[in-house]
A and B are shown apart, each in its own frame.
Chain A
Amino acid sequence: MNPKIETKKLNLFYGNFHSLMDISISIPAQSITAIIGPSGCGKSTLLRCFNRMNELIPEVKIEGQILLDGEDIHKPGTNLIRLRRRVGMVFQRPNPFPLSIAENITYGLRVHGTPEGQKPADIVEKSLRGTLLWDEVKDNLNGPALALSAEQQQRLCISRVLAIEPEILLMDEPCSALDPIATDHIEDLMRDLAQKYTIIIVTHNMQQASRVSSYSAFMLMGELIEFGRTSRIFKNPGDTRTESYISGRYG
């Protein structure tokens, strides 16, 4: 199995704080990988390494390698803009821009340019259909995105990323601001999207990880404790720390 993205001995420091320790993980393509672990274990930090968002924070130092399709994303001369196009991100709180619904979708096209032979209007429709939002908003494409419900906003944010045709979707607790029904809808959507995209989701919700993911990584205090098929990790964890976290003994 060819990994879509992998890290080799990845270390990350915030100033003097050693946040990620020797993380080596290979994430398979076209599947959902969940990163679980207690708050502060570094799971969001790891996620933000994949599209190099950590570099926006001052005093962050990164060592080790991250390979996307075998190519080091920290290599000098790497096109950061292209990297962030290939590796899209959905945030914990829905963050649609204070623009219209259509403008939110076309934002990425204005950054990267509209692919030849395609019309922005078609991409708007396709991206919104991709998250099943189209039928709800098609008559109001020029209405403000901020007027949508929280779930619709999160769908819009996913559509916004789909519009620039990424290969990987990073999701940082994408359902934590949503109610259970909306969470259910987004999870269905994720299973759908995993046919085409490689999805990495950070979640503190163990049920969610076991429901949607094919692979799970358990992290604790900056270390990757265990990584493998979700069914195996949850039924037959190889490490006692994984076992006690999953059975709810701490976290």
Chain B
Amino acid sequence: MRKDKLVAALLQAIALSALAGLMIITVFIFKEGLPLIFRTGLKDFFFSADWEPGKGNFGIMSMIIGSLAVTLGAMLIGGTLGLGMAIVLTQFCPPKLASLIKPTIELLAGIPSVVYGFMGVVTLVPIIRNYLGGPGLSVLAASIVLGIMVLPTVTSISIDALKAVPRSYWEGSVALGATRWQTTHMLMLKAARSGIVAAIILGMGRALGETMAVIMVAGNALEVPGSVLDPVRTLTSNIALEMGYASGEHREALFATGVTLFAVIMIFNTIALSFARRTIRQGRGQ
């Protein structure tokens, strides 16, 4: 019995240490970043595009717009493709083929992001430069690369959501004469709605947080993009690019960028979790 208690205490300590790690990181980032945001002023920090650390200008608007543009683009590409794949794999394709394709898509998650970036630079960027114009390193290139990177997240969570819909719904619909496609869009997508929203939001969080691949293909120019062919710098790229030589206020400003990112991703994940919980409850018929 004494041994049991010892093990329980040990496991508890390990579990708590993970939590403590998160707490320490959070406190540290906010402690380093928040003072600068308030010193600069919320308006001059969030709504100014002047980022000149040497002159004491710390406006991150162009990077916020950059991050949002790239994330939105990634979701338009990856979200649509991922949801489409989930629909095909759960509703239309023979189960045996689906059980072969799903792990293959999930394998995409295991490829290091630098490889995606490299592929983007070598193949995608020249194509965009030659056929569409601009420098090639652009919002579009980053959106396509990120779109592929979020596919496994969006696809596999959407598949789980669609599979969690009770088969009796599907049978009821088919027995009323509905075709597979009618059943899918009139019933299955509605019944799995909250899980699909969770999949999209988690995908967005992943796109927003990705750094290496984006640095390699987005061009990193400090300007508000005028079209999808313009280069952009995202919040994450900014931190990674300048961390090496930043000191003093500049360093604080990078932490402040981190605070912004942290807050946005936390909000996304909280929304996604609450949707995911709703799906599980519905699955139990409550």
* Chains A and B are bound partners: yes
A contacts, CB < 8 Å to B? 51, 53, 56, 58, 80-85, 88-89, 91, 93, 95-99, 107-108, 110-112, 146, 157, 160-161, 164
Bound form: Cα–Cα A178–B17 in Å? 51
Contact with A along B203-238 (1 / 0, CB 8 A): 000000000000000000000000000000000000
- Nearest B residue to A81 via CB reads B177
Q: List 9 A-B contacts (CB under 8 A).
A: A84-B177, A88-B176, A91-B168, A95-B168, A97-B187, A98-B169, A99-B190, A108-B176, A111-B176
Contacts of B166 in A (CB 8 A): 95
- Interface check B52, CB cutoff 8 A: no
Q: A51-B175, A53-B171, A84-B177 are in contact. List 6 more A-B contacts (CB 8 A).
A: A81-B177, A85-B176, A88-B175, A91-B171, A98-B282, A160-B172
Verify if B40 is at the interface (C-beta below 8 Å from A).
Answer: no
A160/B171 in contact, CB under 8 A: no
Q: State which residues 9-24 of B face A: CB under 8 Å.
A: none
Contacts of A99 in B (CB 8 A): 187, 190
B175 near A97: Cβ-Cβ < 8 Å:
no
Q: Which of A51, A81, A91 contacts B172 (CB 8 A)?
A: A91
Q: Which A residues are CB-close (under 8 A) to B182?
A: 110-111
Digitize B149-180: 1 where CB-to-A-CB distance is under 8 Å, 0 elsewhere.
00000000000000000101101111111110
User: B176 contacts A84, CB within 8 Å?
Assistant: yes
B186 within 8 Å of A by Cβ?
A: yes
Asked whether A81 and B179 contact (CB < 8 A) given A107-B186, A146-B285, the answer is yes
Cβ of B145 within 8 Å of any chain A Cβ, yes or no, is no
**Residue from A83, A93, A99 with most neighbouring chain B CB atoms (10 Å):** A99
The distance from the CB of A80 to the nearest CB of chain B, in whole angstroms, is 8
Whether A89 contacts B186 by the Cβ 8 Å rule is no
Task: Tell me if A's interface is mostly helix, strand, loop or mixed.
Answer: helix
Contacts of A97 in B (CB 8 A): 169, 172-173, 187, 191
List of 4 A-B pairs having minimum Cβ-Cβ separation, nearest first: A84-B177, A95-B168, A89-B175, A81-B177
B177 pairs with A111, CB closer than 8 A: yes
**B residues within 8 Å of A by Cβ?**
94-95, 166, 168-169, 171-179, 182, 186-187, 190-191, 282, 285
Q: Which of these, A56, A98, A146, A160, contacts B176 with CB under 8 Å? A: A160
Bound Cα distance from A160 to B177, whole angstroms: 12
Determine if A111 and B178 form an interchain contact, defined as CB atoms under 8 angstroms apart: yes
B98: min CB distance to chain A, Å: 13
- Chain A nearest Cβ from B147, distance in angstroms: 30
Residue of B nearest to A87 (CB): B175
Cβ contacts under 8 Å, B169 to chain A: 95, 97-98
Dominant SS at the B interface?
helix
Give chain A residues whose Cβ lies under 8 Å from the Cβ of B186: 107, 110-111
CA distance A81 to B174 in the complex (A): 9
Cα A99 to Cα B194 with chains together (Å): 14
| Residue from the list A80, A82, A107 in contact with B173, Cβ < 8 A | A107
Tell me the bound Cα distance from A91 to B169 in angstroms. 10
Q: Are B176 and A161 in contact (CB under 8 A)?
A: yes
CB pair A164–B175 under 8 Å, yes or no, is no
B177 touches A164 (CB 8 A): yes
Closest to A48 in B: B175
Least Cβ–Cβ distance between A175 and chain B, in angstroms: 16
Q: Say whether A157 contacts B172, CB under 8 Å.
A: yes
Q: How far does the Cβ of A169 sit from chain B's closest Cβ, in whole Å?
A: 11
Contact indicator A95/B172 (Cβ below 8 Å):
yes
Closest Cβ–Cβ distance, residue B44 to chain A (whole Å): 48
Chain B residue, CB-CB nearest to A84? B177
Contacts of B187 in A (CB 8 A): 97, 99, 107
Determine the residue in chain B with the shortest Cβ distance to A92. Answer: B168
Contact A112 B171 (CB under 8 A): no
Report how far A83 CA is from B178 CA in the complex, Å: 11
Shortest Cβ gap from B248 to chain A (Å): 57
In the assembled complex, the Cα of A157 lies from the Cα of B169 at a distance in Å of 11
In the bound assembly, the distance between CA atoms of A56 and B285 in angstroms comes to 25
B57 smallest CB distance to A (angstroms): 53
Q: Which residues of B contact A107 (CB under 8 A)?
A: 173, 176, 178, 186-187
Measured CB to CB, the nearest residue on chain B to A51 is B175
Residue on B nearest A109 in the bound complex, by CB? B176
Q: Is the CB of B177 within 8 A of A82?
A: yes
Q: How far is the CB of A168 from chain B (nearest CB, A)?
A: 12
Residues B172 and A85 in contact, CB atoms below 8 Å apart: no
Closest chain B residue to A163, Cβ basis: B176
Nearest B residue to A104 via CB reads B172
Bound-state CA distance A160–B186 (Å) is 15
CB distance from A165 to the nearest CB of B (A): 12
Nearest CB in chain B: distance from A123 CB, A = 14
